[in-house]
Amino acid sequence: MQTSTNQSLRPLTTKINDKGNIEIGGCDTVDLVNKYGTPLYVIDEVTLRSVCRDYKKAFSSYDKVKLLYASKALCSLATSAIIAEEGFGFDAVSGGEIYTIHKAGVPMGRVLFNGNNKSADELLLALELGVGRISVDNFFELALLDELAKSKGKNVDVLLRITPGIECHTHEYIQTGHLDSKFGFDLTQIDEAVDLILSTYSTLNIKGLHAHIGSQIFETKVFDDEIEILVKEMARINDKFGLKLDEMNIGGGLGVKYIESDLPPSVYEIAEIIISKINSAAEKYNIPKPVLYLEPGRSIISTSGVTLYSIGSSKQVPHGKKYVAVDGGMADNARPSMYQAEYSAVLANNPEGDNLQNVTIAGRFCESGDILIKSISLPEICEGDILCVFNTGAYNYSMASNYNRVEKSAMVLVNNSQSDIIINRETLDDLVSHDMIPDRLRANV
């Protein structure tokens, strides 16, 4: 089976250059640090475009496919423009994501708005900008969206998000008749939702079903089971209501390689499973092959990203661990503290050094749990060395915070030996730009 970009631990352009430093996109990472500072997010354009093309090639035999990028993984003007240029639409989960995608110049008909508690303002923004699909999550939203659409004199194409009784996380998954989830209509609620759309909510045009089954998925059979449930439901709705749904969104969730022992399936492997199952299920339940929506996020952006840190203090616990601190941590990568996520890293300025020692990479933030990597073997470390952490494109910047009142990091795009700032580093003035002191307090200052 052909390999794909999501199976790579490092950006595709990563190499060790003549100076002995890690180079990505033709750019020496040490030079990037000298120019832009740390912590620094780096996105390799070649890798990002490569995985987009993997998806397009893998699903090219299914002529009714629409590929959407799940922008919650990383949403910026530049990355949105690149992904749109590669032919993708977008799955957005907030007004902010919708607005960013719009400002990047993406045709809004290629956008699906998803989420379990969309506000009236967000829904109005989606209506005004002409978002192509809204995935309706619950009964409250059905009523709200219909009311807002009527106020704007618009009709809205919607998908019905359902909870299919399948949940998958990395290496295992469960399948039950009812799954406890904040997202979507339970299978037992579908008929009531469809009936309301047909009988009461006249502005809503139901086009199909939407489900999402997990994240960082390694188990491929879960896609087979999900499609069986969705196609069966589409056929049943047709039989009961005479409603010919022709769109099916199966979500995303394909895993990536964070550490050497991770073995995610390739895009080509899941494409073969998904396409084969849709064809057989459509024949089994006697419905036309539906339009397939797929919404990968992590597997599109993660591998292209690395984060560069400057190493500062260190501490040897007597008869215990050696802690090495970097100038970032849980505010620029919350995943290790939230999910116990694991990462791989090297010294960017000494990737092939010897005298290896086992250390713990600690962040700079005032939490004992601010540990980026619990255990890693690195050459002897000195203050000022540069740590390069791989596979940080997804859910690092998008989950970043100003904890401890620290400025958010910059992001650069690298390609063909050129680097360009795509997100500016926050300044101290940025941190206080939205703060206000009431006049009654100023008099006492």
- Pairing mode, if any, of strands 65-70 and 89-92? parallel
Q: In the block, which residue shows the tokens 């260190």?
A: 314
Q: Which two tokens stand for residue 281?
A: 């299920």
Which one of the listed residues 52, 75, 366, 388 is annotated catalytic? 366
Task: List C-alpha distances in Å: 242 to 116, 211, 320, 393.
Answer: 28, 22, 68, 44
User: What number of helices (H) and strands (E) belong to the chain?
Assistant: 13, 24
Q: Which two tokens stand for residue 251?
A: 């979500």
Cα 256 from chain centroid (whole Å): 11
The SS3 of residue 101 is helix
What is the radius of gyration, based on Cα positions, of the chain?
Answer: 24
Q: Which two tokens stand for residue 196?
A: 């309301």
Q: At 301, give phi and psi (nearest 5°).
A: -105, -25
Sheet containing strand 27-28, edge to edge, reads: 15-16, 22-24, 27-28
Annotation says 75 is catalytic: no
Between CA 26 and CA 135 the distance in angstroms is 41
Between CA 113 and CA 152 the distance in angstroms is 18
Cα 110 from chain centroid (whole Å): 17
Which residue type sits at 93? V
Residue 147 makes CB contacts below 8 A (sequence gap 6+) with none
Identify any residues that bridge with 359 across adjacent strands, giving them in sequence order: 376
Angle at 247 between CA 246 and CA 250, to 5 degrees: 145
Taking each helix axis from N to C terminus, what angle separates 221-241 and 190-199, rounded to the nearest 10 degrees? 40
Residues designated catalytic: 366
